[in-house]
Each structure stands twice: as structure tokens, then as C-alpha cells.
A and B are shown apart, each in its own frame.
Chain A
Amino acid sequence: MDIFLWYLFWAVAIGIFGWVFRFTGRKVQWPSDRLNVYFRDMPLMVGIGFVFGLVILYVVFHYYFIDKSTFFRWAVQGFLIFAIASWLFLTLGKHVGTQATRKVFRQMPLTASFGILIIIIYAILSVFAGVIAPYGQEEIFEKINVLPGGDPALGGDPRFPLGTDQLGRDLLSRLIYGGQNTVGIAFITTILAFLIGATFGFLAATLSGWFDQAVSRVVDALMAIPQLIFALLLLTIATAWAGSNKELITVYMVVIIAVLDSTRVFRLARAVGFNIVVMDYIEAAKLRGENLSYLIFREILPNAYAPLLAEFGLRFCFVFLTIAALSFLGIGIQPPLADWGTMVRDLAQFINFAQFSPHTAALPLMAAGAIALLTVAVNFVVDWMLHKSSGLKD
């Protein structure tokens, strides 16, 4: 209970200080008129917000310089490095490139440039994994359970900066190949989901009537079961079919997730399609006597690219996370293929060593963080795209 009283005390204290902050701000004669008006019209919540922000800043600084908070320091350093890198990238984009790309970069927020930078890095790492990774993903070395850090005195080995696993495979290589496998499979799955979902969605919007009704009802039923649960159920059956053929399980997984995810794409494509179909230019094309394929490919599709692209980003994240979750649960991508979800599961127990060997404890977080980083990046970009296409409404 003490801890709650403690928090309550701080909440009240911050509230009082916020009021005092505003009160003093009003009493002081500021040199600029805008500041005077700013304090006069300041709601109390804003004053409290300022004080709260100061407290948080103080806490961050305080913890940063405490000796034992290695992880917190890493997190702050990582945050700053990424912030500076994306700022540099943004500045670069503003000055290099064609007129059009420079214009895009000029209106881009830092978060979006961060997202684009990360996506580019991941794309390079995934495509050139074979060149970048020091060893193969299934290559087994004699030294097993080498600790990360590369210091022989602490059980490391300079050849394996992140150490090796219990079979003697290089973890850095597996991390890089894991990216290739996880991202690649998610990408293929998303494309498949889009092909299925968008085709049916636009057909439903254009044909409407019984076709739309039938497909929509099937989709409703499929969507009534939570996706991860349904995927797990179907995968159980798929693994029974696949038997000992591990690769087949991965293929089944791709198909199952693609079909389940295509329901969402269907909903969006149908909604977007319906919005376009009611436009007069579609009516004009229909009355001209154009056939279905002309309507879909030449009239509707060109107008649906923007929302579909944004949806592609979101769907990719969702699929990527679903696959990672399945692998983490041990039912997704199958060994010996390296993948991040499985790595997190295998390395998870190391987290308990955080007190004495921070590097080792960081391993599972690195694999999990690699997943998080990409999805965060994609989401930032999608958020910016959606904001841009929605105009300046808010």
C-alpha cells in the first residue's frame, strides 16, 4: 500500500507545483508580450504538464548516471543514436535527390524519416544476408555456448561477437539470417493476402449484389474467430498433414496466415472500392459500356493505391507479428531455418543473468527488439502517409 501512497503524494505535489508554476508565470512581467499572454491563457493542466515533464527529465538523468543501470543507459543511447541518424538522413534527403523527393523530405516528420531509414537498413540486411553474415545459418562450430562480448577472459570469442548457441552456431549470423527468413516470409505472406483480399474486395464492390453478400458473410464468419487462435487451430491440423516435412509446415503457415489476413484486406478493399464506385466517373464508364476488367484496373485501382499502400504496411506488421508470435510459441517457422521468434524463445532464460552479465541477458531482447524495431518503423511511415492523405483535418 505504501507504494500507492507514495505515488499519490507525488501526484498531489506535481499538481501543486504546476499551479505554482502558472501562478509565478503570471506574476512575472515577461519581456515579450506573447509570453505574458501565454501564461495568462494557460490551462492548469498545461502548467502541471510542464512540471511533470521536468520531473521525468530529472528521473531520466538520475538513472542514466547510476552505475548499475546498464540497460537503461543502452536504451537511452540507442534512442539518441537513432534520433541523430534519422535527423542526418532527413537532412540528407532535403538536399540530395530530385525536386520531387526533396519536397517529400521537406514535409516529413522525424519519425517518418526514422521509419524509412530503418526499413532501408532491414531491406539491405535481408537481401544481402548471405554476404553480410560471417557464417552460414546452419554452420556448426566446435565451441558451444560462447558468451557474447568477444572477450576470452569472460567466456567469449572474438570470432563470435554475439557468441554461439547450445549447438555451436554463430548467433550473429543467425540473427542476420533470421531477419532474412522472418521478413521474407512475412513479405510473401502479405503479398499473397493482398492478392486474395484485394481481388475479392474489388469484385465485391463492383459487382455488389449476391456475390458481395456471399463473400462478405464468409469473411464475417472467418473474422469472428480471433486470428491468432484460428491460425493456431489450423496449424495444428496442418502439422498433422505435413508430418515430418518441416518445410511444408512453413508453406502451410504462409497460406493459412495469408488467407486469414486477406479477410481484413477484403474489408478495406471493398470499402475503398465502394467509395470509388459511387463516383460519377465510374457511372460514366459503366454507361459507356466498359467491361468489368476495364472498370477495376483502369478506373478503380488507380484511385485505390494510396489507401492500399498504407494498408499494406499495416498488414505487413500484423503478419510479421503473427508469424513471430507463432514461432515464439514453437509452431511457426521451423528449424533449422533461423528466425527471430524462435530465437527469443530459445534465448529467453538468459534474461535472468541480467545482474552479472548484461551482454548475455541482452540476447533475447535483441531478437525481440529486432522485430519491434521494424514494425515500429513501418508503423511510423504508415502513420505519416495516412496523416498526409487525410489532409490537414486535425
Chain B
Amino acid sequence: MNNDQLLVKIEKIVIQGVSDEQWLPIINSVDLHLNRGEVLGLIGESGAGKSTLGLAAMGFARDGCRISSGTVKFDGIDLISADAQTKRSLLGSRIAYVAQSAAASFNPAHKIINQHTEAPIQHGVSGRSESEKDAIELYHRLRLPTPDEIGFRYPHQVSGGQLQRAMTAMAMSCRPDLIIFDEPTTALDVTTQIEVLAAIRDIVKQFNTAAIYITHDLAVVAQMADRIKVLLKGDEVEESDTDSMLKNPQKDYTKSLWAVRSFTREEKPLASKEEMPVVRVRNVTAAYAKIPVLHNVSFDIHASRTVAVVGESGSGKSTVARCITGLLKPSEGAIEFDGVPLPADYRQRTVEQLKQAQMIYQMADTALNPRKRIREIIGRPVEFYLGLRGRKKEERVRELLDQIELDPDKFIDRLPSELSGGQKQRIGIARALAADPKFIICDEVTSALDQLVAEGILKLLARLQDSLGLAYMFITHDLATVRAISDEVVVMKDGRVVEAGGKTEMFTPPHHEYTSLLLSSVPEMDPNWLTELLEQRGVDNIGDAAIDRMNQA
């Protein structure tokens, strides 16, 4: 097959979405072309329209969206004017789709393999038994555990990373010319993500399938794509092949995206042994409804220092925060503040104790009461803890808004819904600062934000720490963030502290086995990173497989 042959050609496509009863553009006149066997990466922040564009390449628009002008040609067939039957005969057989959430995109009522064989049977590609055999063969190639049986399970009986691979197998069932991958690894943990990435990349190469790979993660797209197209709010920013895009971006917006990852802070020298830590977590063991989640967790947090607590979902890192704030009573162990043990239940703590430990949340949307104006959101803790009222309170609120770099005159009377995601997060920081605390817990504060905005938040937090001497506990799963802001790192897995120490020490080998797996699983901007990693560790020593091996050992 000739790889220079044009497969998809989208010209001047405009897609509109309905909002408040009017049609607004989501994609403004974007062109796209894709050759056979080529992988195009579509990247952009949330709201850039990348999924919409990806679906349009299938001639499909979601409910509430419509393709209002432009053409989509797939192998010479005009998908927009084609009738329903022609489109149906292409979908599934020659164009396939892999959705973001495999758990939601598999029908819970049928076995995986029955959903797999559907398309081949419908399109007359092969019979049931033949296509079942092929499915198992594909499961083997995608390195799914127990490939001969896994297809005969129901979707809810299989883990997220495995389902995502099963869905890739399903997309491959008719050996399509084109697959659209719509953020296939976004919902997965890093260690699982790498397994899926490796499997997808492999199989796409093996069958010489063309693909559109949609993601917001630059490092991921660098591994997968031959060519990258950057989108911003429905407009194309630029497009070029992966190497030159990474090394030599042309547009300011792209450059700023690349620059994000460069923010780092000097690690402060380790605190002396004698110094009293602000917060000491001492041998905490805790359980939710008798299911143990924390086992003997201990670490210290000193003034003016940031401790990053790292781990994947289910590692218990947020539970530690709940124990510190007093929302969850540890069954053993205690939390000390300035050397004094705190009552386990927050209701028994004094106002002074509550004031000293504040929290910033992951989802700024749910952290701010949508019915309250900024004046009240920040003003309430000022009044509650410091007893300021009237003009003094107003002055303090304005001062705090200045500190978080928002213009008080413009913002003080707004509602949270009138703010952007980053601004909301800043208000969350101001609310924590309003109590004038010594210690702040930052729970995944940047993970819901676009990278540029997240960077701004990290810089702000760093500045505040330097000027106010705050101690931070930084909960995150993102190692780039850890590298950027932390002084010390605590790695958690299954409710236990696996490893702890200073940042530099933690990022240089030798590591604990799990830390090394975690560190090596974080994608880097180098397009050869995945290849080299697989060479180093071997295909069977990544992701869940590696963890299973570790647990057995």
C-alpha cells in the first residue's frame, strides 16, 4: 500500500454548537489532511474543539452540534453529503473510533467479545467464529492478561487500562484504514497509561493504520504522532511534523505551551533534626467503614517548605489530608501541630487550631459556593477568624485579592461563575490565605487546569510561600508538578509510604522499585522516549504487569 496516498481531506470545515438557543462556532474553518498509515496528533487545551474535529473526520457530529460548511472526504467519498447507509457502511469497517472512557463506552449488558464481533459481522468482513478467533489474536498482540478468556467477561469485570486496550482491539476488528483515538489514556494512571500507549502504538504500526490521536498531553502526542496539529479555541495554530514541532515551534502560543514544563524551584536545604515541624503525621492508620486505607503513615512538614505527596489513584494520598484536617479519625496514630497533638475530630478542635491549617481544593468549581460573591467568599474567613468587620474587612479582602494578582475593583463583586478556571483557583488560594494560616494543604490544585494556567498557579504559590513562610503539603499524581515545586517527596502506594526524602535525592537513582516505575512512566517530550524506555525495561515490565510482579515479589 502506498503511504503517500491521501486518505482523509477536510477543507474549511465549520462546526457549530448550540448554546443558549443560538448556534456558536466550535471549529472555524479548519483544514486537515491525512495520508494512509500516518498518525496525526491533534492537541489543544480544553475547549479547543479537538474531539469535535476528530468526530467530524468520521462525518459525525454529536447531538447539539452540526457541520455547517466545508467538506470531509474519506478516500474520495464525500462524507457530508453521503446518505446514512453509505456512512454506516464506512463506520466500523473502514473508520473506527476509540473513546476516552472505555468503561462508559462498552455496553454493560454484553460480553466484550460479543461487542467486538458485532462490526465484522454487520459489515460482512467475517463470520462470528472467525472474528472471535481474530479478537483473541488481537488481545494477544495488545498484551492483555489472559487473552483467551478476557473477551468472555463483562466490561465491569475488567480494569480500565485493559478495557481501553480491548476497545482498541475492537476498533481493529475490521482492520480499518483510519482510527480516531479520542484521549484514550486521559482517565488512566501514569503507570497504566504507558502500557496502553505502547500497545496502541505497536498495533497501529503493525497494520499500517492511519490514525488521528487526540490529546491535551504534549509528551504523549510526541510518542504517538508523525505530525502534530495545534488547535486553540476552534482555530488552527500551526501544524508540522513531530520533530520540528517539538524543537522549533513557530507560533507564540505553541512556544508558551512548550515553555510550561521549564518552571522549577531550587530545593531548599533539609530542615535540621532539632527544628520543630509545623505538622507531624505520626504512625497514622485509618480505615473507611472497616476497609483499611492507610497503614502506619508518618512524615513531617516544616515551615517554608513543600512536601509533595505522590501516588496514583487509590494510594491513600487524599486520605492523609482528611486525617490531618480531622474529617477522618485515624484508628491509630496522631497528628501533631507545632508539637501539640490535635484532637482527631475537627469538631473538637479550637478555632485557633482550625485557622492554622487551611485547604485548597482540586476542583475550583465545587470549592467555591456558586451563590456567593467573591467579597463574601474571602470576607467570611477574615471576619470569622480575625474578627475584622466593615471597612477593615473590606481592606483586608482587597489586600488579599492584590496578593493573588487579581484586580480588586474588577473582581470583588463577581460570582464564581463569572471567573475562569485559573481565577477561581486563585480565589480558593485567597480564601485559604484569609485565615492567615501557617500550613496549607494543596489537593491536586493544578490537575484540572490547562498547563499555562497551572504554571501561573504554581508560581503564585511559590511566591506566597517565600513571602509568608507557609508550609505546604502538595498532593499530586503529576511528577512534573512535583519536580517544579517540592522540597521533599513522599511516595505512597496502597496506603503505605513507599519512599520519602529530599527532591533531588528522590529524582536520582537508585530508587525504590515502585518509585522507579512511577518516575519512568511519566512521558517526556522526547519522541524517542517510549521506544528507549521499552528497550530499557522490556514490554513486560511496565504498567500493571510490573506492579503485579512487584506485589508477588
Contact = CB atoms under 8 A, between A and B. Distances in A.
Chains A, B in direct contact (C-beta < 8 Å)? yes
B275 interface: no
Nearest to A106: B21
Max chain A C-beta neighbours (<10 A), residue from B325, B363, B371? B371
A283 B21 CA distance: 36
B368 interface: yes
Interface string B350-390: 01001000010101001111111000000011001100000
Contacts of A287: 325-327, 346, 354, 359
Contacts of A289: 346, 349, 351, 354, 384
Given A281-B366, A287-B354, A392 B326 contact: no
Max chain B C-beta neighbours (<10 A), residue from A279, A290, A394? A279
B20 interface: yes
A17 to B, nearest CB: 23
Interface in B383-399: 384-385
Nearest to B18: A392
Contacts of A40: 83
Contact of B369 (A37, A288, A303, A392): A303
Max chain B C-beta neighbours (<10 A), residue from A41, A281, A392? A281
Interface string B10-45: 000000001111000000000000000000000000
A302 interface: yes
B412 to A, nearest CB: 18
A356 to B, nearest CB: 51
Nearest to A302: B371
B366 A284 contact: no
A218 B359 CA distance: 38
A41 B367 contact: no
B1 interface: no
B483 interface: no
Main secondary structure of the interface of A (DSSP, over half): helix
A142 interface: no
A206 to B, nearest CB: 13
A107 B21 contact: yes
Interface residues of B, number: 32
Contacts of A394: 63
B552 to A, nearest CB: 38
A212 B507 CA distance: 49
B431 interface: yes
Interface residues on A, range: 10 to 19
A41 B64 contact: no
B84 interface: yes
B361 A280 contact: yes
A394 B431 CA distance: 37
B57 to A, nearest CB: 21
Given A107-B20, A107-B21, A392-B19, A286 B369 contact: no
Contacts of A157: none
Interface string B69-91: 00000000000010110000000
B429 to A, nearest CB: 12
Nearest to B84: A41
A280 B445 CA distance: 13
Nearest to A304: B371
B424 to A, nearest CB: 11
A299 interface: yes
B431 A284 contact: yes
Interface string A260-285: 00000000000000000001110110
Contacts of A303: 369-371
A394 B18 CA distance: 11
B361 A392 contact: no
Max chain A C-beta neighbours (<10 A), residue from B64, B361, B369, B381? B369
A118 to B, nearest CB: 24
A281 B384 contact: no
A392 B354 contact: no
Contacts of A392: 18-19, 64
Contact of A280 (B63, B351, B367, B372): B367
Contacts of B64: 392
Contacts of B19: 392
B324 to A, nearest CB: 11
Contacts of B361: 280, 284
Nearest to B19: A392
A302 B17 CA distance: 31
Contacts of A290: 384
Given A41-B83, A287-B325, A303-B369, A280 B381 contact: no
A177 to B, nearest CB: 41
A281 B368 contact: yes
Contacts of A299: 369
Interface string A30-53: 000000010011000000000000
A288 B381 contact: yes
Nearest to B357: A287
Interface in A281-312: 281, 283-284, 286-290, 299, 302-303
B164 to A, nearest CB: 26
A207 to B, nearest CB: 12
Contacts of A281: 366-369
Contact of A279 (B325, B327, B366): B366
B343 to A, nearest CB: 12
B367 to A, nearest CB: 4
Contact of B346 (A41, A107, A286, A302): A286
Nearest to B368: A281
Contacts of A288: 354, 380-381, 384-385, 435
A248 to B, nearest CB: 42
Contacts of A283: 327, 359
B384 to A, nearest CB: 6
Contacts of B20: 107
A279 B369 CA distance: 9
Nearest to A283: B327
Nearest to A40: B83
B19 to A, nearest CB: 7
Nearest to B362: A280
Nearest to A103: B20
A197 B55 CA distance: 47
A286 B346 CA distance: 9
A299 B369 CA distance: 7
B170 to A, nearest CB: 27
Contacts of B83: 40-41
A283 B366 CA distance: 10
A302 B431 CA distance: 20
Contacts of B351: 289
A40 B84 CA distance: 9
A284 B367 contact: yes
Contacts of B372: 302
A288 B350 CA distance: 10
A394 B385 CA distance: 46
Contacts of A280: 361, 363, 366-367
A183 to B, nearest CB: 31
Max chain B C-beta neighbours (<10 A), residue from A283, A299, A302, A303? A283
A302 B372 CA distance: 9
Nearest to B432: A284
10 pairs of A and B residues whose beta carbons are closest in the complex: A302-B371, A280-B367, A280-B361, A281-B369, A279-B366, A280-B366, A289-B354, A289-B351, A303-B371, A287-B325
Given A290-B384, A392-B19, 10 more contacts: A41-B83, A107-B20, A280-B366, A281-B366, A287-B326, A287-B346, A288-B354, A303-B371, A392-B64, A394-B63
Interface of B: 18-21, 63-64, 81, 83-84, 325-327, 346, 349, 351, 354, 359, 361, 363, 366-372, 380-381, 384-385, 431, 435
19 contacts: A40-B83, A41-B83, A107-B20, A279-B369, A284-B359, A284-B361, A284-B431, A287-B325, A287-B326, A287-B327, A287-B359, A288-B381, A288-B435, A289-B351, A290-B384, A299-B369, A302-B372, A392-B19, A392-B64
